[in-house]
Amino acid sequence: MTNELDAELPVHDFPTATSVTEFVQNIAEVRGRIAAAAERVGRNPHEVRLLPVSKTVPEDRVRLAVQAGCRELGENKVQEAKRKSTNLADLGVAWSVIGHLQTNKARDVAAFASEFQALDNLRAAAALDRRLQAAGRSLDVFVQVNTSAEPQKYGLAPEDTEAFLRELPQFSSLRVRGLMTLAIFSSDVPRVRECFVRLRTLRDRLRETDPDLLGDAGLSMGMSGDYEVAIEEGATCVRVGQAIFGKRQTPDSEYWPEMATEDHA
Ligand SMILES: *Cc1c(COP(=O)(O)O)cnc(C)c1O
Residue ranges in the chain assigned as alpha helix (H): 20-40, 59-67, 78-87, 106-112, 122-135, 161-167, 189-209, 227-232, 242-245
Q: Which residues line ligand 1 (CB under 6 A)?
A: 53, 55, 76, 98-99, 182, 223-224, 239-242, 248, 255
- Atom number in ligand 1 closest to CA 53: 4
Q: What whole-number percentage of the chain has pLDDT above 90?
A: 86
Enter the pTM of the model. Answer: 0.94
User: In the prediction, which pLDDT does 9 show?
Assistant: 85
Is the CB of residue 224 less than 8 Å from the CB of residue 265? Answer: no
User: In the prediction, which pLDDT does 255 show?
Assistant: 83
User: In the prediction, which pLDDT does 8 show?
Assistant: 87
Is the CB of residue 165 less than 8 Å from the CB of residue 143? Answer: yes
Is the CB of residue 113 less than 8 Å from the CB of residue 81? Answer: yes
Task: Name the average pLDDT for the chain.
Answer: 93
pLDDT digits over 204-218, tens only? 999 999 999 999 999
The residue whose C-alpha atom lies closest to atom 7 belonging to ligand 1 is 224
How far away, in angstroms, is 139 Cα from ligand 1 center? Answer: 20
- 32-46, 123-137, 144-158, 219-233, range with the lowest pLDDT: 144-158
Q: Is the pLDDT of residue 62 over 50?
A: yes
